[in-house]
Structures are given as C-alpha cells and as structure tokens.
Amino acid sequence: MTKEFFAHPTAVIDEGCTIGSDTKIWHFSHIMRDCTIGRACNIGQNVVVSPGVMLGNNVKVQNNVSIYTGVTCDDDVFLGPSMVFTNVINPRSAVNRRSEYASTHVGKGATIGANATIVCGHDIGAYAFIGAGAVITKNVPPYSLWVGNPARQTGWMSEYGHKLIFDAHGLATCPESQQQYRLSAGEVTRIS
C-alpha cells in the first residue's frame, strides 16, 4: 500500500498519525503522534504539529508555525508565517502544567496573519481575519477583523477576505464574490 500524501525526506512523521490524501509536508517539519491532518493540506517548512492536534481539509500552514496540543482547525484555515499558538496561560519552566493545556478552536475559513499570537483558551470564529502581528486575548466572532496588540476588532470580512462596508440597513456585498452579508445585533451572517 502506498501513502497518498507527500512528505519531504527531511520531515519526521511519528506513529499513529492520520494524514489525508494530497497533503504536502515540507522540509524539516515534525508531525507528532496521534495527529489528524485532513486532505489537501499544505504544511510548510519547519512546522511542528504537536500530539493530538486536528487539522481539517485544505488547511494551509506557512513556514515556522508550531501548532500545540489543544488546537483544532476546521477546513480551509490559513495559518500565516511564524504565527504562534500558546497552550498554557502561565508557563514556568520548573512547573509541569501539561494537565492544564487550554484549547483553541479555529473556525472554517479563518485567516491568521504572519507573526500573530493566539493566547490559548480563545476561539477564532469562522471566516475571521487576524491581521499580521495581532495578539488575540479574547474570543473572536465569525467574520470579524482584528488587528493590534492587544488586538481589537476593527471591522468585518467577507469569506473572500475583503473588508465589508455595511449600509444603513446593515447590508454589505463582497466586491469579489458578490456574496451578500447582514450585520444585526453585533453578528454577521451571509445571506446569499
């Protein structure tokens, strides 16, 4: 039986992993035990995927990203170069806190920009957009745009990654896809 994914010869893949077809794992990456990686993912150079991590289909992980135990990513997530997940709120070298790992869930289609930091225990909603260098210290609603340190919400994004401009009726149209969105009670939903 042949494997249905590509792994560069320098990649290390531990026993017990499930890796979907058409996934590519590049130079010097380490996929640790009991990970699940979906179909058509791209795992860049020097990436570490820690034990038990789950990545959906078509997840793009750019170079120099560590995805720690407790992180799950739905389909179509983009993790930018050198972005950071944490998994312990108050780490100390001399104190073992492996039983205190906090989880982080990244929703379908979300983008996390280069060098952003996601403090553990905070979820990223579907199609949210985290700008480069942002530091996330709270939950992020679906379709929201966050920038800065600490990050703050500065708008809303379409599923195609364009900032949405809502009219007086709370309606917006993505300039690329022509999909329409409604903003109501502080939440965005796609309506077409």
Inside any domain, residue 48: yes
Model confidence pLDDT, tens digit, residues 59-81: 999 999 999 999 999 999 999 99
| pLDDT tens by residue, 169-188 | 999 999 999 999 999 999 99
How many domains does the chain divide into? Answer: 2
| Residue 1 within any structural domain of the chain | no
> pTM surpassing 0.75?
yes
Return the HEC string of 86-101: CCCCCCECCECCHHHC
Residue 28, in any domain of the structure: yes
- Is there a single domain that holds both residue 22 and residue 80? yes
Domain extent for 181 = 160-192
